[in-house]
Structure 1
Amino acid sequence: MGKSKKISKGKHIQKPYSRPSHHRSNKKGSSKSAPSPQVTFTIPFESSNRILLVGEGDFSFSHSLLNAHGCASLLATSYDSRSNLVEKYPQAAAFIADLEAEETVDVLYKVDATKLDKAGKKITNGGFDRIVFNFPHVGGLTKDVNRQVRYNQELLVGFFRSALPLLAPAGSIIVTIFDGEPYDLWNIRDLARHVGLKVDRSFKFQAGAYPGYRHARTLGNIKDGGGWKGEDRGARTYMFYAKDGIASYSEPKKSNESTDDDQD
């Protein structure tokens, strides 16, 4: 990984996006099209950020950060071995090849999100501006809801404790989880506070902000393709920073995001 660049504090990238217009005819024979509404995505990354991604599925998110957002200083990791990963997600092979072709990008396997201190010098050198864990989940360890909640809470607490020492000054830990139960029962805000983190903000996760990204299930692709698309399900991204004097972001709310954003 190259030397990290200095980043500006308190900035979230707001990118306008035009939905494709659909031609409508008010009168027979009319070809006038409706205007394309602007959609503002909240993207908590800058191209200069040094980013650590843990628990990557098929690496489509890392691939999108690199190619769509110019985030070239990436360390993308998977809990699986490379062989198991490609078996679960055959599409991952192409994404990994593109990532590994970049000199400033590293891909590591068999990295436990709760034991980042044992993952080698590329991680433990620290100084990450963003440490990202998208859709953490322990998988189908049990069908008992209470136990499943507890196992996932333990996963998050272990991750927070492991990631905290690796943050750069003014760096953030970013976690995205689905809306609704049982995910609401995880109480992610309280878990973060318990280990010395403070909630910076949260906002609706929009998969469309990351071209080429597709949600990857913990257990692998659905057999024969399936029809479920996790990127179409409601989800929320939480940003945390250390309590020991590191300043919070202070970007004012956008009027069209007032129902989605919150400050803590």
Structure 2
Amino acid sequence: MSKSLKQITPVVNVDTRISVMAKSKKRKFTNHSTNNKPPAKQQLAKAAKPGPSPKAKPTIPFHSEDRILLIGEGDFSFAKSLVDHHACYQVVATCYDSQEALYEKYEPQAEQHTKYLEESGQTVLYGINATALDRTKKLVNLGPQWDVIIFNFPHVGGKSKDVNRQVRSNQELLVSFFKAAIPLLADNGTIVVTLFEGEPYDLWNIRDLARHSALEVQRSFKFAADVYPGYSHARTLGNIDGGGGWKGENRDARSFVFQQQGASGEKQPEWKRGSKASKKRKREGEKDTSDDDD
């Protein structure tokens, strides 16, 4: 009896049993992976998730073909960048210092920059007082109609350590500059002034100063120093001994674009031409008095 049972009972090879178990595990792994796929709605939502918004283009308040007058240049690195990198070709760059004093304060870059400008066919003028532009024969004979007049980081220098006196002195500088610059503007020409943000510069109340000078703010925007390759902020007192030190171009700054009150319109930067906002303002007959960048 036991013999017959031995004959009937099948003998399963050990290797065969291991192979069957392996196939079973493989099927289970495959099915488990398939069942864990996210639902179709989740896949669509993931695909539709918006990416990072594109970085806004910086505002450049002039066109390459504009007649540009630069006031109070330091080492003339800003003027050089306009010509070298922005293809401006009608630039008159001025500074308050004499040529000798300028070269001494900003050695050696000032001489290099001014020579580059002159060799490029631009005009460099020394000893130009920002508060007497309309009475300066050198400028009147060259113009007097400029599309853009730019005064970056105006400052009277360290005349006093008293904050209130410094504020008043710089306010007087700006008011006198505005009044002297207006007669030199072309129709719909603009005046651009750039200041550091925060105190004491906010105390100058530049918007009010311009309003009392028959100007109005068309817009303001963050000044982006990296838009002007080669530019570096020059201190009123000159280079820092040994190099290095404080870098003004790394500080937050804001540019204000002014136009005479009642002017017929504003010349838009090239990258804003044809924009929906610009067309809307044109249809509604409004001027853009808002800030471009926060």
Which band: TM-score by shorter chain? 0.7 to 0.9
TM-score (norm 2): 0.72
Measured in 2, the distance between the counterparts of 1:78 and 1:92 equals 11
Q: What letter is aligned with 1:55? A: G
Give CA-to-partner distance per residue, 1:165-221, whole Å, 9 cap, x none: 100011100000000000000000000000100100000000000000000001111
Contact 2:219–2:291 at 8 Å: present in 1 too? no
| Alignment counterpart, residue 196 of structure 1, candidates 210, 214, 226 | 214
Report 1:25-104 matches (<5 A): 38=55, 40-90=57-107, 91-103=109-121
1:208 counterpart residue number: 226
> 1:224 matched to which residue of 2?
242
The correspondence of residues 55-204 of structure 1 with structure 2, limited to 5 A, is 55-90=72-107, 91-103=109-121, 105-123=122-140, 125-204=143-222
SS at match of 2:130: coil
1:239–1:205 CA distance, 2 compared to 1 (3 A)? same
Change (3 A) 1:260 1:208: farther
CA contact (8 A) 2:216 2:261 kept: yes
CA contact (8 A) 2:118 2:124 kept: yes
Deviation digits for residues 58-113 of structure 1 (CA, Å, limit 9, x no counterpart): 0000000001000110000010000100111011111011001122x100000000
Identity %: 58
Structure 2 gap segments, 5+ residues each = 1-51, 279-289
CA-based RMSD: 2.0
How many Å apart are 1:245 and its aligned residue? 2.9
User: How many pairs are equivalent?
Assistant: 222
Residues 140-188 of structure 1, C-alpha deviation per residue, up to 9 Å, x if partnerless? 0000000000000000001000000100011100000000000000000
Q: Which residue of 2 aligns with 1:261?
A: 292
Give the Cα separation in 2 of the matches to 1:115 and 1:154. Answer: 13
Following the alignment from structure 2 to structure 1, what is the Cα–Cα distance between the partners of residues 238 and 124?
19
Q: Which amino acid aligns with 1:182?
A: P
- The gaps in structure 1 that reach 5 residues or longer are 1-34, 254-258
- Give the Cα–Cα distance (whole angstroms) in 1 for the partners of residues 133 and 126 of structure 2: 12
1:227 and 1:249 map into 2 onto residues whose CA distance is: 38
Q: Is the 8 A contact 1:201 1:262 kept in 2?
A: no
Report the counterpart of residue 18 of structure 1 in structure 2: none
How big is the shift at 1:246? 3.0
The answer to whether the 8 Å contact 1:197/1:240 transfers is yes
Distance 1:121 1:83 in 2: 19
* Alpha-carbon distance between aligned partners in 2 of 1:133 and 1:207, rounded to the nearest angstrom: 15
CA contact (8 A) 1:200 1:249 kept: no
The amino acid of 1:139's aligned partner reads G
TM superposition shift of 1:38: 4.9
Distance 2:245 2:96 in 1: 25
SS of residue matched to 1:139: coil
**What is the one-letter code of the residue matched to 1:87?**
E
- What TM-score, normalized by structure 1, do the two folds share? 0.80
Change (3 A) 1:260 1:231: farther
